[in-house]
Structure 1
Amino acid sequence: MTSATLHLAAPTVVERRILTLARHLEAFVEHRIAARAERREIALDLLREQQARRQDPRAVEHLLAQMGVPER
């Protein structure tokens, strides 16, 4: 009787395969989430860099001076 009870409590072959599939699916989704977060961080860094470059008034004056345009 005890062996029958233990046998019924163990997962079936189908259940084990479903659990394995679920683990693989979870790893895949976590990898996609991490990759998306990394891409988002890179995009934010690029955006910050672009915004910082545009807000530097000395850079505009320097370029105008190089082109020979008189000061404003």
Structure 2
Amino acid sequence: MTTATLRLASPTPFERLLQQLAAALTRHVERRVAARAERREIGLGLLQDQQTRRADPHEVDHLLAMVGLSGR
């Protein structure tokens, strides 16, 4: 009776396979979420840099001179 009870308490080979599959799928999804969060952080940093960058007034004069227009 004890052997039968122990056998019923442990997972079957198919159940172990399903557990391994679920663990692998969970790892895959967690890696994708982490990668997406990292890309989002990088994107937000680049956007913040772009928005806080000050315009160079000499650059505008230079571009106008290249086109053949006088400065401001």
Q: Return the TM-score normalized by structure 1.
A: 0.81
Among all aligned residue pairs of Structure 1 and Structure 2, give the percentage whose two residues are the same amino acid.
50
Does residue 50 of structure 1 match 2:50? yes
Deviation at 1:64, TM superposition (A): 3.5
| Structure 1 residue corresponding to 2:71, chosen from 46, 49, 69 | 69
1:14-29 equivalences in 2 (<5 Å) = 14-29=14-29
Q: Return the TM-score normalized by structure 2.
A: 0.81
Q: Which structure is higher in RCO with an 8 Å CA cutoff and minimum separation 6?
A: 2
Query: Aligned residue pairs: how many?
Result: 66
After the TM superposition, list the runs of 4 or more consecutive aligned residues in structure 1 that deviate by more than 6 angstroms.
none
Contiguous gaps of at least 5 residues in structure 2 = none
| CA distance in 2: counterparts of 1:49 and 1:9, whole angstroms | 58
The residue identity in structure 2 corresponding to 1:43 is G
The residue identity in structure 1 corresponding to 2:42 is I
User: CA RMSD, aligned part only?
Assistant: 1.5
